[in-house]
Amino acid sequence: MPRAGTQGRDDGAERPDGRGREVVAGNLAVAAKLRAYADLLEQQGADGFREKAYRRAADTVAALDRPVGEILDEEGRAGLIALPGVGKGIAGAIAEMVASGRWAQLERLSGELSPEKLFQTIPGIGPKLAERLAGELHLETLEDLEAALHLEAAPLKGLGPRRREAITAILAERLGRPALRSQGGDVPQPNVGLLLQVDDMYRTRAAAGTLRKIAPKRFNPTGEAWLPVLHARHDDWHFTALYSNTKLAHQLDRTHDWVVIYFQQEGHGEGRCTVVTESHGPMKGRRVVRGRERDCQEAAGLA
């Protein structure tokens, strides 16, 4: 069996097993999305390091003589990570594309993110449940969904234990890894001081009108390009910040207060947090990272 990463023909010619065109078509579709993401990073002013990383990964995938889906099935994410130029973050992106044919990270930056449609690619999730997952729990990606399913207290109305277990198993298989609980988590968290710096930079530059804006398709009937996007780098951390474009943010008129920050340390997967203006308690009127209020209070010397 040829090893993952072996470069082969890219002209679509049939291989002895008759899967040449299938391999090329599938891998080129993944590579095209990786290049499209690199193009968006370039257009939106991200640092050149990330852009080049995604282009390198695209070249690697396009040259493979095995389908990336086969590598994922047989070797899990470790097989993808072993490919030249493919780290944990890009391996996660490829796994999502193989699982659903979509990539939330790319759709987010292009303003086309629709978590409801993404979740419906999972057997057992219909339109109503998909709407609750996106609208009530604010989930966006398959990995968000996987994490929520492992939180026993997650308010997933209408999702019984058997259905929950079945969806969890499908996600683990499609994302090419064992159950999440056995992993222990692999996404490092930036300190709250750094997250608040990114939040301040984003809101300052958004107010000054110096950031590129995208026109999200969700909750935007006029098609206006109103959502600013910031890409920033600090040491080995990469950040992308946008105002929240969730249903709840619009209902509460917080679309220009809640800032969603996506973060990724080199060699690891992507994480996410939301920064808001606190409405009560000792931090009232100050910016806090949701879920890390205590850390913010200590950083402000108010603990």
Give the domain CATH number at 169. Answer: 1.10.150
Which residue, among 71, 33, 34, has the nearest Cα to 53 in the 3D structure? 34
> Within this chain, do residues 81 and 155 fall inside the same structural domain, yes or no?
no
> Within this chain, do residues 202 and 293 fall inside the same structural domain, yes or no?
yes
C-alpha torsion sign, points 167, 70, 74, 84 = negative
Tell me the C-alpha distance between 188 and 271, whole Å.
Answer: 8
pLDDT of residue 39: 95
At residue 93, does pLDDT exceed 70? yes
- For residue 79, tell me if it sits in a domain: yes
Tell me the C-alpha distance between 229 and 44, whole Å.
Answer: 7
Is 107:114 a contact under the CB 8 Å cutoff? yes
The whole-number average pLDDT for the span 5-16 is 39
Select from 149, 182, 215 the last residue of a domain. 182
Task: Tell me which residue has tokens 């809640």.
Answer: 258
pLDDT of residue 60: 97
pLDDT of residue 9: 36
> Within this chain, do residues 253 and 222 fall inside the same structural domain, yes or no?
yes
Is 164:151 a contact under the CB 8 Å cutoff? no
Dump pLDDT digits (tens) for 252-264: 999 999 999 999 8
- 8-state DSSP, 15: P
| Bigger pLDDT: 185 vs 118 | 118
Q: What secondary structure, in 3-state letters, does 64-101 show?
A: ECCCHHHHHHHHHHHHHHCCCCCCHHHHHHHHHHHHHC
Helices 88-100 and 142-149 meet at what angle, rounded to 10?
90
- For residue 5, tell me if it sits in a domain: no
pLDDT of residue 11: 38
How many domains does the structure of the chain reveal?
A: 3
* Mean pLDDT across the chain: 84
Confidence at 21, pLDDT banded by 50, 70, 90: low
Chain centroid to Cα 58, Å, comes to 17
Confidence at 25, pLDDT banded by 50, 70, 90: low
Tell me the C-alpha distance between 220 and 214, whole Å.
Answer: 11
Select from 182, 216, 238 the last residue of a domain. 182
* Gyration radius of the chain over CA positions: 20
Q: Which of 163-167, 179-183, 251-255, 284-288 has the lowest mean pLDDT?
A: 179-183
User: Phi/psi at 190 (nearest 5 deg)?
Assistant: -65, 155
Give bridge partners of residue 263 from the DSSP assignment.
Answer: 239, 271
Determine how many CB atoms are found less than 10 A away from the CB of residue 181: 9
Task: Tell me which residue has tokens 């990995």.
Answer: 143
- For residue 7, tell me if it sits in a domain: no
Select from 108, 133, 156 the last residue of a domain. 108
C-alpha torsion sign, points 103, 25, 39, 191 = positive
At residue 170, does pLDDT exceed 90? no
At residue 105, does pLDDT exceed 50? yes
Dump pLDDT digits (tens) for 44-84: 988 788 899 999 999 999 999 899 999 998 998 899 999 99
Range of the domain at 66: 20-108
CATH of the domain at 101: 1.10.150.110
Encoding tokens for residue 4? 């993952």
At residue 269, does pLDDT exceed 50? yes
Which residue, among 112, 98, 99, 119, has the nearest Cα to 37 in the 3D structure? 112
> Within this chain, do residues 213 and 295 fall inside the same structural domain, yes or no?
yes
pLDDT of residue 162: 85
At residue 155, does pLDDT exceed 80? no
> Within this chain, do residues 200 and 292 fall inside the same structural domain, yes or no?
yes
At residue 153, does pLDDT exceed 60? no
Give bridge partners of residue 274 from the DSSP assignment.
Answer: 260
Which residue, among 2, 93, 296, has the nearest Cα to 287 in the 3D structure? 296
Dump pLDDT digits (tens) for 227-236: 999 999 998 8
- For residue 3, tell me if it sits in a domain: no
pLDDT of residue 136: 78
- For residue 93, tell me if it sits in a domain: yes
> Within this chain, do residues 230 and 268 fall inside the same structural domain, yes or no?
yes
Q: Which of 100-109, 266-275, 286-295 has the lowest mean pLDDT?
A: 266-275
252-260's contacts with Cβ under 8 Å and 24+ in sequence apart are 259/199, 259/202, 259/203
Chain centroid to Cα 91, Å, comes to 12
> Within this chain, do residues 155 and 248 fall inside the same structural domain, yes or no?
no
Confidence at 152, pLDDT banded by 50, 70, 90: low
